[in-house]
Structure 1
Amino acid sequence: MLTVRDLNDLRASIAGWRAEGARIALVPTMGALHAGHMALIEAARRPGTRVVASIFVNPKQFGPNEDLSRYPRREAADARMLNEAGCDLLWLPSVETMYPAGFATTISVAGVSDHFDGAARPGHFDGVATVVTKLFHQVAPDAAYFGEKDYQQLAVIRRFVADLNVPVEIVGVPTQREDDGLALSSRNIYLDETERARAVALPRALGVATRAIGRGEPVDSVLDDARRALEAAGFVIDYVALADAETLEPDPAPGRPRRLLAAARMGQTRLIDNVPVE
């Protein structure tokens, strides 16, 4: 696996692969990698494809009171994981490369970013859309792979790619989970032993709720039950909501695809999860 920190070197490597007829796949990450990220690498690996993974802890998607300074950084361990997973190139841009002096452009995506994490974390999705746009211009991939755990992020990226005619196929990869159902996340390492045991209430509450909604039970009552279950486990809730799976509008119209989404804090750790509703 190549490890590249200079933009000119990145473009030269990709140009060489293009000359050989290779397809380019991108897996953007913020590092602190786990099995969920490896599932993205595995999904991206296809015959004739070169896989590029990026690691960049993006300051523009963290709010002033969020965990930018303590977000886990473990470059050497991440590089070993990517190499073992069959990644072809690790792109490690600096903050100065991504946001040089005078940088003044922000990508903002209305609609899908208005609710849920968009409301709870103002400016977060502007930071996501901006950095992903930059990565697309730097790597020029044919396809990019994102986990469905960050479902609203995936919806935001799909929206701006469609709106701006960006020639990149966006591939969503199902959420990877621990044996007890907790969604894999780089932030899970913040949970102490007691918090980790209680955190499983999040996927369990969503599972109970999605089955109840699927049976036709009243949505408001089901969501209230889910909130009570989470609070009983020790969570402080940001939101538990049913949304249109494509537009992320709350209270989806009959017949539309639906997604149940939740964000809640266990101690100092904010966890998110989502499940489809049939």
Structure 2
Amino acid sequence: MRIVKNIKDLRCVIGEWRQNGQSIAFVPTMGNLHAGHLQLVKTAQLQAHRVVVSIFVNPAQFGPNEDFASYPRTEQQDEDKLTACGADLLFLPDVGEMYPNPLQTKVSVQGLSTLHCGASRPGHFDGVALVVCKLLNMVQPDLLFLGEKDFQQLAVIRTMVADLNIPVTIQGVPTVREADGLAMSSRNGYLTPAERQLAPLLYRALCDARAEALSDTADFPAIIERQSQALRNAGFELDYLRICRRADLLPADKSDTDLVILIAAKLGKTRLIDNIYLSR
């Protein structure tokens, strides 16, 4: 696996591959890689000649009181995992490479970025859209692979790519879970042992809500209230639990058929997100 830390070298390597007629897949990450990230790489390998992975903890998507400084950085372990997985190139820029000058340009997906996590983390999705737009311009891949666990993020990036006519095909990859159902996340490492035992209740609530929502007589507000209260009773600080239309993440009603249930909650100091699909 080749490791490059600047845009010039990145483009040089990719240019060589392009001259040889090879297709490029791209997996952007913030590092601290787990099996979910590696599944993105493995899926990408099946669909492109070359797979580029980036690791960059993006300051633009962290709020002033969030965990940018403490976000886990495990560069050597990540390199070892990607080498073992067979990734072709690791792009490892620092902040100065990504943001060499004070930014005068903003990338913002209006509406969608202010819902759900966007309401709780103002500016977060603007930072995500900005860095992904920059990375896509740097790598210029044919295919972009993103995890479905961050469903709103995936929706924001899909909209940005469509609106800006960026020539890349986006593929969402299903969430990888621990044996007890907890969605894999780099932030799971913040959980204490006791919190880790409770954390799978988040996914259980999603599964229970989906089972109830499939009923012809389902009462969506009642389902949300029942599952929300159960999580609060278990010790979660609930941010939101919502049944939405998958297409636009707006509230669903019983006439809608293609749905996603979104959830975000804090357990101790750790913010957890997850989602589950349902079709009625």
| 1:108 counterpart residue number | 108
Where in structure 2 are the equivalents of 1:242-261 lying within 5 Å?
Answer: 242-252=243-253, 254-261=255-262
| 1:271 counterpart residue number | 272
| 2:54 counterpart residue number | 54
**CA distance in 2 between partners of 1:263 and 1:102 (Å):** 32
Deviations 1:104-130 (A, max 9, x none): 111000122121001010000000000
| 1:12 counterpart residue number | 12
**CA distance in 2 between partners of 1:181 and 1:9 (Å):** 40
Give yes or no for the alignment of 1:227 onto 2:228: yes
The structural deviation recorded for 1:49 is 1.4
Deviations 1:62-85 (A, max 9, x none): 001100010000100001101111
Q: Is the 8 A contact 1:201 1:229 kept in 2?
A: no
Root-mean-square deviation (CA, aligned residues, Å) is 1.1
**CA distance in 1 between partners of 2:71 and 2:134 (Å):** 21
The structural deviation recorded for 1:256 is 4.3
| 1:199 counterpart residue number | 199
Give yes or no for the alignment of 1:237 onto 2:238: yes
**CA distance in 2 between partners of 1:62 and 1:144 (Å):** 23
| 2:30 counterpart residue number | 30
**What TM-score does the superposition give when structure 1 sets the normalisation length?**
0.98
The structural deviation recorded for 1:271 is 0.1
Give yes or no for the alignment of 1:262 onto 2:266: no
Deviations 1:27-59 (A, max 9, x none): 000000000000100110036510000000000
| 1:119 counterpart residue number | 119
Secondary structure, counterpart of 1:180 in structure 2: coil
Aligned residues: 278
Tell which deviates more after alignment, 148-157 or 212-221: 212-221
Tell which deviates more after alignment, 108-117 or 135-144: 108-117
Secondary structure, counterpart of 1:113 in structure 2: helix
| 1:180 counterpart residue number | 180
Q: Is the 8 A contact 2:146 2:173 kept in 1?
A: yes
Secondary structure, counterpart of 1:271 in structure 2: strand
| 2:91 counterpart residue number | 91
Instruction: Using the aligned pairs only, state the percent identity.
Output: 50
Q: Which runs of 5+ in 2 are unaligned?
A: none
Deviations 1:133-159 (A, max 9, x none): 000000000011000000000000000
Tell which deviates more after alignment, 104-113 or 156-165: 104-113
Q: Is the 8 A contact 2:245 2:256 kept in 1?
A: no
**What TM-score does the superposition give when structure 2 sets the normalisation length?**
0.97
The structural deviation recorded for 1:253 is 7.0
Q: Is the 8 A contact 1:146 1:172 kept in 2?
A: yes
Q: Is the 8 A contact 2:24 2:49 kept in 1?
A: yes
Aligned residue identity for 1:114: T
The structural deviation recorded for 1:255 is 3.3
Q: Is the 8 A contact 2:27 2:54 kept in 1?
A: yes
**CA distance in 1 between partners of 2:43 and 2:75 (Å):** 22
Q: Which runs of 5+ in 1 are unaligned?
A: none
The structural deviation recorded for 1:102 is 2.9
**CA distance in 2 between partners of 1:272 and 1:81 (Å):** 25
The structural deviation recorded for 1:103 is 2.2
Q: Is the 8 A contact 2:210 2:261 kept in 1?
A: yes
Q: Is the 8 A contact 1:111 1:247 kept in 2?
A: no
Secondary structure, counterpart of 2:114 in structure 1: coil
The structural deviation recorded for 1:99 is 0.9
